[in-house]
């Protein structure tokens, strides 16, 4: 599990459309991962692509903040709820951001926040969204802005800025899956929706750096409009 990173979340897709979901505010920052196991405790910390320590520029302060605000609380949840009984390791994922953070770019001198947005337990997967809120909601987690079907109407409302978010939302749904021996499990599916206002600001800043230009291209691909729904009825074959 040492190399486990957060999966890339796609934009709206038919695979998830109209399924029940819980939508969380998506904060604009850097995705950090914190590793724990029974033998070593909290032992490794990384961004999506590299490891860092307390002395690392920009990200180093997140280590002490995580220990102060999340480390004990997460382990208390493991002991309290039977869903995590026997768990020997996990990865906690947090968003790291400041007031001026944009598209993951930070101002070095600015104070940063840390927010827990997911927990992964090997062999069990990501904590389903309703369990995440119920079990970890006493910690600093993203605001739930919507619960209901991941519908076209909801997607359009987010894009139009009708929810109290800046960048957008991450919608998560727990779909039942079957493993061997008939044991029922849940798979967490995810999709992200960006607001048009945030995409417009990214387009405005895209000329400032190659990183922002590439970020804009990626976001435009992910957030392209969904195809129109197929006609409910097809004309009968006249042959």
Report pLDDT digits (tens) over 151-207.
Answer: 999 999 999 999 999 999 999 997 766 554 444 566 899 999 999 999 999 999 999
How large a percentage of the chain has pLDDT more than 90? Answer: 79
User: From CA 123, how far away is CA 121, in angstroms rounded?
Assistant: 6
30: β partners: 96
Q: What is the pLDDT of residue 13?
A: 77
Q: Are 25 and 182 contacting, i.e. CB atoms less than 8 angstroms apart?
A: no
- 194 contact partners, CB below 8 Å, separation of at least 6: 11, 26, 158, 159, 167, 168, 219, 222, 223
- pTM to 2 decimal places: 0.89
What distance lies between CA 56 and its chain's CA centroid? 24
Domains and CATH numbers, the chain: 9-27+143-223 (no CATH), 29-141 (3.30.470.30)
185: β partners: 177
Sign of CA dihedral 20, 26, 31, 35: negative
Strand 184-194 versus strand 20-26 pairing type: unpaired
144: β partners: 24
């Amino acid at each position: 599990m040492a190399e486990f990173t957060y999966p890339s979340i796609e934009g709206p897709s038919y695979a998830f459309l109209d399924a029940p979901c819980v939508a969380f505010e998506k904060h604009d920052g850097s995705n950090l991962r914190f590793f724990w196991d029974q033998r070593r405790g909290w032992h490794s910390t990384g961004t999506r692509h590299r490891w860092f320590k307390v002395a690392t520029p920009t990200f180093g302060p997140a280590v002490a903040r995580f220990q102060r605000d999340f480390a004990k609380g997460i382990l208390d949840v493991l002991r309290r709820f039977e869903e995590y009984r026997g768990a020997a390791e996990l990865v906690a994922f947090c968003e790291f951001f400041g007031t001026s953070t944009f598209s993951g770019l930070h101002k070095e001198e600015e104070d940063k926040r840390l927010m827990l947005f997911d927990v992964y337990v090997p062999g069990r997967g990501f904590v389903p969204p309703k369990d995440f809120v119920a079990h970890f909601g006493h910690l600093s987690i993203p605001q739930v802005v919507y619960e209901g079907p991941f519908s076209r109407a909801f997607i359009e409302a987010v894009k139009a800025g009708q929810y109290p978010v800046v960048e957008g939302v991450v919608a998560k749904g727990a779909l039942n899956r079957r493993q061997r021996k008939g044991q029922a499990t849940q798979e967490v599916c995810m999709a992200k929706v960006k607001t048009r206002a945030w995409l417009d600001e990214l387009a405005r800043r895209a000329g400032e750096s190659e990183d922002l230009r590439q970020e804009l291209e990626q976001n435009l691909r992910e957030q392209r409009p969904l195809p129109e729904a197929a006609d409910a009825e097809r004309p009968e074959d006249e042959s």
